[in-house]
Amino acid sequence: MEAETQEKASVMQRVKGWLDKIGNTISSVGKEAKRLAKEDPRRVVHAFKVGLAISATSLLYYFDFFFAGFGVNAMWAVMTVVVVFEFSVGATLGKGVNRAIATLLGGALGMAAHDLADLTPEKVEVVLIGLSICVIAGVATFCRFFPKIRARYDYGFLVFILTFSLISVSGYRADVVFDMAHRRLTTILIGGCVAVLICIFVRPVWAGKDLHRYTAANIEKLGCYLESFGSAYFKESHDKNLAPLRDFKTVLISKGTEDSLVNFARWEPRHGKFRYRHPWDQYLKIGSATRECAYKIDALNCYLNSDAQTPLELRTKIQAFCTTISSKCSLALIDVAIGLRTMTCPLSSEKHIMDAKAAAKTLKALLKTELWHDTEFLDIIPVVTVASLLIEIVTCTVKIADSVEVLATKVKFKKPKPEMNRQASREKVKRIPSIEASHSVNIVFE
């Protein structure tokens, strides 16, 4: 009796444990979902847009008027919407255009292959169709390795292979190949149009705009690092707050996101402040200059936590100049970032850069003198390296400013209005949703 009660109790306990676990999992998934939605509310809108687009297309199936025309082929429309609908307008348009053109070409070629094979006896026909599929699919697959094709038309080649195979294979069976190809093309066009229209007209997400903000935010991150570097480096190690000094790390691995966004942006029509032939390639150059600067900052960052430190009293001898350089570079970068973000000519970055250059020159001259006369050489190395890295960062800052300047000239940035509150713009740059995570960029988040 007692054993039974005990057993019952233990079973109850185990069940309770399971229930707790399930409850925990559900609540943690819920929390994560809430976080994702808060981080970038456009995700929720996107999910809703996809649902809406699919429901709308499914009406093709429902209304007799359409169904009489398309029959089961109407499913291609639903399928197209599901596959083509991406987070940004550029990605959706790129996929849609690729799919439409590839379907057209694949269908035409498939019909040609079918008609050719039709002229021969049946046994030969089968071999011919099989062979043509093998050869054309093989060649098209190989073409997907061409770097230029892979960058922009990869999906198109996939759909081409698909359509060609489907149409020419149907030749084994149906003699209504033309009808099938025609219906497939029409339904895909309808599906693609629904996807593209909903994507553009319901709260659109422009990859170009995001690329623009992403580039500005990356420059800003470097600026923020340099803003706090000066004060952090010339302090005793125990009262350092290093948390804001870690943001810049994501800039180091920004290349993939940037490439994808540029790729998407190229497909987009003019929108907002971005005209039709906006020089998207220039963003790659700005990004590469930004990353170069980030590598230097990464080197600099090592000296914050390094064990081999120059004693603080020796460091203070060049504190003024180092702090000036880092704060002036920081001001310049932030000004450039705000200018880029708001598409206005940077107001004061030139002045800050001049100041930074002057400070760098003085620092160089100072290092020439017998500054640390009677100290051990080794003690000075870290601080000298920091100083020379800072001097290099001035050069990098100039490079970033120049590459943004090139963009400003090409796009004709406006003069900022005097009443514009730049601090408010800065806050805006900071509160940028996490762009890497929203666009479909293949990154393993560790």
Interface with a copy of itself in residues 311-330 (CB under 8 A)? none
H helix count then E strand count, the chain: 18, 0
Binding residue for a copy of itself (CB under 8 A) from 15, 33, 202, 242? 33
Q: Which of 137, 345, 347, 411 binds a copy of itself (CB under 8 A)?
A: 137
Decide: 330 and 385 in contact? Cβ < 8 Å. no
The least CB distance from residue 401 to a copy of itself, in Å, is 19
Q: Which of residues 241-260 bind a copy of itself (CB under 8 A)?
A: 252-253, 255-256, 259-260
Return the residues of window 166-225 that contact a copy of itself according to CB under 8 A. 166, 169-170, 172-173
Least distance (Å) between residue 319 CB and a copy of itself: 18
Q: How far is the CB of 233 from a copy of itself (least distance, A)?
A: 16
Cα distance between the two ends of the chain: 52
Per-residue string for binding with a copy of itself, 331-370, x by CB under 8 A? ---------------------------------xx-xxxx
The span of 5-13, 191-199, 224-232, 298-306 binding a copy of itself (CB under 8 A) equals 298-306
3-state SS, residue 240 = coil
From 36-44, 206-214, 343-351, 352-360, give the range in contact with a copy of itself by CB under 8 A: 36-44
On whether the CB atoms of residues 211 and 308 are closer than 8 A, the answer is: no
Q: Report, in Å, the least distance between residue 3 CB and a copy of itself.
A: 40
Range in contact with a copy of itself (rule: CB under 8 A) among 44-52, 94-102, 191-199, 406-414: 44-52
Number of CB atoms found within 10 A of residue 99's CB: 25
Q: Is 36 in the site for a copy of itself (CB under 8 A)?
A: yes
> Would you say the C-alpha torsion 5, 6, 8, 13 has a positive or negative sign?
positive
The stretch near a copy of itself (CB under 8 A) out of 229-237, 342-350, 371-379, 425-433 is: 371-379
Tell me which of 67, 273, 345, 422 binds a copy of itself, using CB under 8 A: 67
**Beta-ladder partners of 274:** 271
Which residues in 170-194 are b (16+ Cβ under 10 Å) and which e?
bbeeeeebeebbebbbbbbbbbbbb
Query: What is the distance between the alpha carbons of residues 204 and 236, in angstroms, rounded to a whole number?
Result: 49
CA distance 96 to 192: 6
Give whichever of 13 and 306 is closer to a copy of itself, judged by the CB atom. 306
The mark string for 69-98 relative to a copy of itself (x by CB under 8 A, - otherwise) is ---x--x--xx--xx---------------
* Binding of a copy of itself by 392 (CB under 8 A): yes
Between CA 366 and CA 399, with CA 386 as vertex, the angle to 5 degrees is 95
Tokens 């190809």 found at = 181
Give the whole-angstrom CA distance, residue 103 versus residue 441.
26
Asked if 112 is part of the footprint of a copy of itself (rule: CB under 8 A), the reply reads no
Stretch that binds a copy of itself, among 8-16, 235-243, 351-359, 375-383 (CB under 8 A): 375-383
Could you tell me the smallest distance in angstroms from the CB atom of residue 418 to a copy of itself? 40
Q: Distance between CA 137 and CA 157 in Å, rounded?
A: 9
Contacts of 146 (CB under 8 A, 6+ apart): none
